[in-house]
Amino acid sequence: MIDKIERRVIPLIARLVEYWQNKLITYNHQEIKRQLKFCGRGVRFKREIRIDYPQNVSIGDKVYIGPNTILDGRGGITIGKNTTLGFNVVVLSANHDIKSNVLPYEHNVYIHKPVVIGENVWIAANVLIVPGVTIGDGAIIAAGTVVTGDVEPLAIVGNQPMRTIKYRDKEHYDRLAGKESEAVSMTSELVPSDKE
């Protein structure tokens, strides 16, 4: 008897949960659109997305933004009309200042640089766009690409395999790491140990 009830009730509960999850996602999308600096007509978000600092983000008409996309709008992001962002796309408009004199990086100073994505651009899955980049109209960005520089209009770009770009200044790093280890040892001296 209980098995019969479970077989009927559990699918019903699952459908109700899915229905309300979809309602909540739709509500969240409307709230995000309301907070944007500009939101064109026909903008579509797919499932969960995250837009930080939406007041600095402008999205043109008929833009599609895929699931799990993150737009970090601290430095400003502009996306032109008819552009598609695939799933897991990350657009950053702020980054840590690697020349800062503090560690760890949570307390670091950020550098803000706007990102501009043109019209009719196709950005495939798992793309990372770094601060300060401009992508020209009609460009296509291949899956898995890290976009570190401007992309010309109509260009098709990708960047595999990985390569070393450059190395950090060792003396600067050693100086910062030394400060950090001094701070840790000073903190551990101030905290009473369990053995005392």
- What are the pLDDT digits (tens) for 115-133? 999 999 999 999 999 999 9
**Using 50, 70 and 90 to split pLDDT, how confident is the model at 178?**
confident
The answer to pTM > 0.95 is: no
Write down the domain spans for the chain.
36-163
Nearest to 126 by CA among 162, 157, 167, 89: 89
Structure tokens at 133: 């980049």
- Residue 185 confidence (pLDDT) above 80: no
Active-site residue flag, 172: no
**What was the pLDDT predicted at 184?**
47
Active-site residue, selected from the candidate residues 96, 107, 112, 172: 96
Q: Which fold has domain 36-163?
A: UDP N-Acetylglucosamine Acyltransferase; domain 1 (2.160.10)
